[in-house]
Amino acid sequence: MRIGIDGRELLRSNVTGIGRYLRNFLSSQVVRCSPHEFVVYGNQFTSPELSGPNVRFRIVPEHITLWWDQVVLSRLAREDRIDLFLSPYDKGPLLLPCPLALTVHDLSFVSFPEHGAFRSRAYFGTRKLMARRADLIITVSKSSKRDILRLFGVREDRIKVVPNGVPDEYSRVEDKSLIERIKHRYRIPGDYILYVGNFKPHKNVRCLIDAYKELPDMLKDKYYLVLCGRRDKFRKEVEIRVRSLRLEGRVIFLDFVPEEDMPVLYSGAEVFVFPSLYEGFGLPPLEAMACGTPVICSDSSSLPEVVGEAGVLVDPNRPELFAEAMERVLTDGELREDLRSKGLRRSRRFSAEDFSRRLLEILEELA
């Protein structure tokens, strides 16, 4: 079988969530040892580094996104006689000569639109149309599946849940000197509480800032709050909140951190906190658990499904409850060790190889 894949998120200079999704799949032993051929379509920004005996890249410049989405991909699929097409997005070519599998990671654009009313309605309309055109919708959690059923109105048997996986590189780092080198590299002068993610409103970082402010002075003096996320248009509001609460110097913004440094950064944190209002899956808490770091996160959307009883779940609308949870974890060594061991066990249920195996099985069934 020849499987076509939209691989534009495999970027040369940046690691996105969808790029990681594709990287985990294409680099897995499940894919590398399969009898199928994978043709990955990319544009001028795509890195072909995952090429292999059964993984081939076709790079075609992209100038107008809609044209590339609908015309170029359909033409390439015909030329290559693709048997099945996998899109890692909630969009895909409508004129394919083969079955189409879309990936809907979440529907945050419905509850937390980033554009005006007209553009938001148009975006939702096109995504709903594409979902109904697709032969199969792949999603990453039962929570997202419920959202798709409710908002897109597609048949339940056309939706398959394939939870994300964590690569083996995400594991506990015990080397204290390595942790200290990473702290020095990113100018973290002491022990720290960690958040990883962007600064969009639904990530609810303001709640974390407010919760950190409510910690006893003794704990704020001992633990910095480290916010790890690429600078975006929403970060300025968070920076303003930090200044208004006079937390400059205690809250550290890291901007971009290469993936190879992330396991060390997670392992060095005393606790990982994730106050998001909405997630389709929620990979950062899982990565933190895989690195043996205690997790506190919201009890909303997919997060209880991912974290289970291995973390402390908190109402994301209550900063004072996040403050209480952080104080409890930071001051109770036995609780921290219990959360570490539970998190490590929980994370093993979400391996990258299991994710790849399940995804490939579903594609084979569709074909």
Strands (E), the chain: 2-6, 37-42, 55-59, 84-86, 100-104, 136-139, 159-161, 191-196, 223-228, 251-253, 271-274, 295-298, 312-314
pLDDT tens figures, 240-293: 999 999 999 999 999 889 889 999 999 999 999 999 999 999 999 999 999 999
φ and ψ of 286, to 5 deg: -70, -40
Q: Which residues pair with 248 in a beta bridge?
A: 251
pLDDT at 116: 61
Q: Is residue 49 part of a domain?
A: yes
* Domain match, 235 and 134 both: no
* Domain match, 15 and 97 both: yes
* Domain match, 216 and 117 both: no
* Domain match, 124 and 199 both: no
pLDDT at 125: 87
Q: Is residue 280 part of a domain?
A: yes
* Domain match, 92 and 235 both: no
- Of 35, 16, 38, 14, the C-alpha closest to 27 is 38
Q: Is residue 298 part of a domain?
A: yes
> How many structural domains does the chain have?
2
Can you list the residues of the chain whose pLDDT is less than 50? Answer: none
Contact between residue 14 and residue 340 where contact means Cβ atoms under 8 Å apart: no
DSSP 46: B
* Domain match, 99 and 117 both: yes
Q: Is residue 171 part of a domain?
A: no
Q: Is residue 54 part of a domain?
A: yes
Positive or negative torsion for Cα 150, 151, 157, 162: negative
Q: Which domain holds residue 121?
A: 2-165+352-366
pLDDT at 272: 98
* Domain match, 275 and 306 both: yes
Q: What is the CATH number of the domain that holds 8?
A: 3.40.50.2000
* Domain match, 152 and 220 both: no
Query: Within 10 Å of residue 50's Cβ, how many Cβ atoms?
Result: 18
* Domain match, 100 and 183 both: no
* Domain match, 158 and 267 both: no
* Domain match, 311 and 356 both: no
pLDDT at 117: 60
* Domain match, 320 and 203 both: yes
Helix/strand/coil for 122: helix
Q: Is residue 170 part of a domain?
A: no
- Alpha carbons 314 and 312: distance in angstroms, whole number: 7
